[in-house]
Chain A
Amino acid sequence: MHMSTQTLVSTRDVAVALGGRPVLRGIDLDVHAGEVVAVLGANGSGKSTLVRTLLGLVPTVRGEVRLFDTPLDRFRSWERIGFVPQRANATSGVPATVGEVVAAGRLSRRTPFVPMRRRDKDAVAAAVEAVGLAGRLGDGVSTLSGGQQQRVLIARALAGEPDLLVLDEPTAGVDVESQEAFAAALGTLVDRGATIVLVAHELGPLAGLVGRAVVMRDGRLVYDGPPLAAFTEADHVHHHDHNHPASPVRTGDHVPSVAAPLDPPAREAR
């Protein structure tokens, strides 16, 4: 419908501070319709904060974020965006079925107090099928494996039929079958011309889909271009072990490395 040159995401000189500490700075990023962009970087480099900033989940301290050519604070077309948060599971304090969790993906298109329409139900069924969980609509989410739960969250984002899909580490800690189902679902979307921004630790099975890589280091964008072969090999970008005890040796007078908001709080300097 829209021209392929449309800019879906645009940031200019964006800076983000958490608790007074700048964790992102000088971020200039444009994502155009049809692009598949991977945001790479080590733990604490700010890649997760970056995508959360694009979605308005983290406030900026300077610069401007625009979604679909609209400043973020005036943006209302949330049905055009699908979001898969960084999360190990899809459960909460009360049981929920796969269908109910995925149906939450339609909320951006529904009117309060109005029941689901035929169209909503079809979209939910299609999304569940796309991630290979057809027939599990009535199953409790808590009875699924971690990888299957991650697929439920991806189906929830797909159910909204978004133009832009934002995924925060969708394949972290996911079993083989789920990774393959996920890569297949993403491949179908890419073929249809969807725009995707995904945060990843390593590209792995997604390497073939990604057309552009953005590398974050210490809160700044240090690389923006075609994915290099090195990115598929995780160790060139970061340490594979998430709990690696030895942090990179710092020379000179540096503040301690900043942490992403979901990381445990770092000890204060001094």
Chain B
Amino acid sequence: MSIFLYDFVIRALLGAVFTGLAAPAVGTYLVQRRLALMGDGIGHIAVTGVALGLLTGTAPLLTAVIVSVAGAVALEVIRGRTSTSGDVALALLFYGGIAGGVMLTGLAGEGANVLQRYLFGSITSISAGEVWLTLALAAVVLFVAVGLSPQLFGVAQDEEFAQVSGLDARVYNLLVAVMAAVTVTVAMRTVGLLLVSALMVIPVATAQQVTRGFRTTLFAAMAIGTFASLAGVLVSAFVEVAPGATIVLIALAGFVAAYPVGLLLRRRRRARMPFLEMADGLDGVVPVHGHTAVPEDHEHQHGPACGHAAVEHGDHVDYVHDGHRHAVHGGHYDEH
């Protein structure tokens, strides 16, 4: 356990915990609004922010926060005010951000190896001051993402309904964009700008394999994110690899493990969904086919113990097997 004696490891672990909590919390709202790649777009913009810091000699963390918040706001405005579709707006920022970052880094006389620390994370180069700024920003993001979750959920779920409830949907959308930008920069030293979006999206995708509700998804994603980033930082303290890669691969492994479970749960839920009496608007035109007795013999009585899926249908139960829906009718079965 001697690695914990190194200050940089402790700093990296602290950063990892807060990043692992904050990134999926914001990511949940992005996924809910089907903007899963927004974090990636902001990450690219932040590259320009980092480079600006390198060029001007200011702390890259500070310039990255400012530039990525501005970029996120621009993205929201482009999306909301113009007819540019969300993915085109994202593409504009992606490429502008990366190109600007490489250009400014070159002008600053720095090489790709300096930029790489920010692109894929680097636990050894985090200073004490940066850790405290990271923790403070992440704490604010967490407080807002959890505290305002009913409002943020409502707006992301149905913007017009939220508007008629007196919530200013535009303000809440901007708030999510700003939180995403802050989270991206917070995660810059742990996961890195190019991979931060993975930590926003993958834990949410993993959580929703097994969850049914929004709050459980939110908190499960935060737990998964924390585990992945802690484990990833620990691994990269032993092995000479950028922490971003190990964190994302661990998160992905979690998803691969959860997916089959989710598939099974969804299949079981679907099989048990009640059959509905449908109105086709053709009453009186096409006769309702009421009684179709099943010709074949059954080797057993359908019942709770027979092993065939029993599905509610109006006031009775249909037994599903071999492409049939059989309902008990007197001494025989009807096809329903």
Contact = CB atoms under 8 A, between A and B. Distances in A.
Nearest to B28: A94
A140 B212 contact: yes
Interface stretch (A23-31, A106-114, A181-189, A251-259): A106-114
A34 interface: no
Contacts of A103: 150
A22 interface: no
A97 B164 CA distance: 21
Interface residues of A, number: 43
A101 B157 contact: yes
Interface in A187-205: none
Contact of A104 (B154, B211, B273): B154
A76 B279 contact: no
Interface in B155-203: 156-158, 160-167
A95 B164 contact: no
Interface stretch (A4-12, A35-43, A171-179, A217-225): A171-179
A52 B269 CA distance: 36
A92 B32 contact: yes
A186 to B, nearest CB: 18
Contacts of A147: 276
A95 B217 contact: yes
Given A107-B154, A143-B273, A55 B164 contact: yes
Contacts of A129: none
Given A85-B158, A110-B150, A78 B217 contact: no
A76 B166 contact: yes
Contacts of A95: 208, 211-214, 217
Most chain A beta-carbon contacts within 10 A, residue among B148, B164, B167, B278: B164
Contacts of A116: 150
30 contacts: A56-B164, A83-B161, A92-B32, A92-B34, A93-B34, A93-B36, A94-B217, A95-B217, A96-B157, A103-B150, A104-B158, A104-B165, A107-B154, A107-B165, A108-B165, A112-B147, A112-B151, A113-B148, A138-B212, A138-B213, A140-B213, A140-B269, A143-B212, A145-B273, A160-B165, A166-B164, A175-B279, A176-B276, A176-B277, A179-B279
Across the A-B interface, the 4 shortest Cβ-Cβ residue pairs? A78-B166, A140-B212, A97-B213, A108-B165
